[in-house]
Structure 1
């Protein structure tokens, strides 16, 4: 992803407002295109992501300035040390290094598994599956539900909670 696809300011004065966001327009697929047209989307950035990306841009710009290279929007947001696109092995190594610094035993984890965690955490916190599916770029909810969403809580409580609400215990 290039910096040209990242908007760290948004348009807060527009009606409706447009938050800081990233445009998902490319893929790691051989063609470079997203899997489906629905996969192309703009996704709003949380304030912590905006702060992290601003820090990343400042670090990169300082490196480019020190090297005497002009900065432009085609610069990759996350690049190898030489400024080129990172390969899968570089991404996995970096991911495991960050996980280790965070005190996590990443073992054989891959960054792809974060997509499953994202879907599962959103689902567990009550975000509708249709919205989650749109966020991850799925053309329908089926793949989101069947492949990416995993049960986090060991006991499904929804039925018991609903029944207690419908039929309150008069002895309580």
Structure 2
């Protein structure tokens, strides 16, 4: 009997077509939109269509790819594969790319009618819009993966995406700071800055009358939470979401370690807490006594802030306090700092320091601080295996590939050292 599921105005049928050589069940799918007006008429129409579909499948007359649109294929891919095999944040980003980039061209096309030329035209359009070759390759891989599933499920006779020619992508330049630049940034975190406030109108609470406030300047310091956040990043090379998801229970003050056990990730509905994406991403990182002492001091200050906030504090209290996030929002006490806010604050600190103190800190992206942490370790001869562990790479080869240039410089230095040792003159 065909299985029937309803989503909105559409009905989705699924029928078993037996099992393959491995014993795995072969499923056939169809999307149906009824034309009836009344509930009873729609029910009868859908039931008949489901029975007809079941007969077609059993008699070998149904060719899925000729009936199923690409957008419907994506729905089946999401329900039968992606929702259980991909992280929610990854799935949300994939669906947004599909709807924005590919649906306008092939969303309503039957998948058996999609040709390599259709896809090649989409690739050309993406390049014409100014997207980088790396972005084109990454986004196109989503479509290719979905069509590969359609081929595996017996919906199409081949994955036409494999016939397409993709632009060659050059490796992006890795930008990072030197040791002096990193030290300048850490100094910048503790300086005072002046902020120009625009003219505005204020309302007196007692009289309700408005009065003008002229342009003025105010002095401010970077909030303590941000100083701790960026300092810990440079000392550990952790990812943005890993830092945002860090809790006090993940900090071992006695053994001076930081454990990465969860990540704060963005999804369509806001943010979710999830496990690190790979087994190696879940790791424990050693830190110095100075870093631990600074975190101890910050925890004490955060606890005082939580008491002052009273009912505004949305975190835990008492014996459950260690379940709180290490980096909580200055504006919403107890809530975590969200990943999207990190980059804005990071660039603003660099801009203000360079303008007000005549600094020369390059305005790299925030991920560059992770590269900075790694390259500083490599430049000091730290074993690449240990660097790979701190970064949470699943393979040492990934670290070697990303930091090949820095590793070559270290190897050249080692060659000179060895030559000096073996000198006979």
State the TM-score, normalizing by the size of structure 1: 0.77
| 1:58 alignment partner, SS class | helix
Q: Are the equivalent residues in 1 in contact too, given 2:257–2:285 (CA < 8 A)? A: yes
Structure 1 stretches (4+) deviating beyond 6 angstroms?
none
Match of 1:3 among 243, 248, 258: 248
What aligned pairs does 1:142-153 form with structure 2 within 5 A after superposition?
142-148=397-403, 150-151=405-406
CA deviation after TM superposition for structure 1 residue 28, in Å: 3.8
| 2:412 alignment partner, SS class | coil
Larger radius of gyration: 2
Of the structure 1 ranges 77-86 and 142-151, higher mean CA displacement relative to structure 2 is found in 142-151
What aligned pairs does 1:123-142 form with structure 2 within 5 A after superposition?
123-142=378-397
Match of residue 86 from structure 1: 337
CA distance in 2, matches of 1:94, 1:59: 21
CA deviation after TM superposition for structure 1 residue 75, in Å: 1.5
Q: Are the equivalent residues in 1 in contact too, given 2:381–2:410 (CA < 8 A)? A: no
CA deviation after TM superposition for structure 1 residue 32, in Å: 1.8
Q: Are the equivalent residues in 2 in contact too, given 1:7–1:21 (CA < 8 A)? A: yes
| 1:151 alignment partner, SS class | helix
**Structure 1 residues 7 and 50 mapped into 2: Cα distance closer, same or farther (>3 Å)?**
same
CA deviation after TM superposition for structure 1 residue 7, in Å: 1.8
**Structure 1 residues 155 and 147 mapped into 2: Cα distance closer, same or farther (>3 Å)?**
closer
CA distance in 2, matches of 1:27, 1:128: 27
Say which structure, 1 or 2, has more relative contact order (CA 8 Å, 6+ apart): 1
Runs of 5+ consecutive residues of structure 1 not aligned to the other structure: 11-18
Match of residue 41 from structure 1: 283
**Structure 1 residues 89 and 106 mapped into 2: Cα distance closer, same or farther (>3 Å)?**
farther
Match of residue 260 from structure 2: 24
* Larger proportion of strand: 2
| 2:284 alignment partner, SS class | strand
State the TM-score, normalizing by the size of structure 2: 0.34
CA distance in 1, matches of 2:373, 2:383: 13
**Structure 1 residues 126 and 154 mapped into 2: Cα distance closer, same or farther (>3 Å)?**
closer
Q: Are the equivalent residues in 2 in contact too, given 1:36–1:139 (CA < 8 A)? A: yes
Q: Are the equivalent residues in 2 in contact too, given 1:24–1:39 (CA < 8 A)? A: yes
Match of residue 366 from structure 2: 111
